[in-house]
Amino acid sequence: MQTQFRLAANLGLPVATNVVKVDVDNGGVRVECEREAGTTDVVRMTTPCVIGAGKGLNTPNYPTFPDIVKSRKKAVPMAAR
């Protein structure tokens, strides 16, 4: 939990943690940070900056059953040594 804060302090950069949404605009970043009790804060920062991602930032894409079955039939190319 301290990594992003220590990194930002050492580099002299702004920091936001538990970020659930990122919007990049001209020379800056607008982030939404999830706080306690389901509230969110909107923070505007200049770039470069340090962003600590929260669980809501990523929506995982799980494979479907037909895709899993199809993947069993595909060959895996061997890397040259």
Q: What is the pTM of this model?
A: 0.66
Whether the CB-CB separation of 64 and 56 falls below 8 Å is answered with no
Q: What is the pLDDT of residue 56?
A: 75
The pLDDT of 44-70, averaged and rounded, is: 88
pLDDT tens track for 10-33: 999 999 999 999 999 888 999 999
Instruction: Say how far apart CA 37 and CA 20 lie, in whole Å.
Output: 15
pLDDT for 3-16, tens place per residue? 899 999 999 999 99
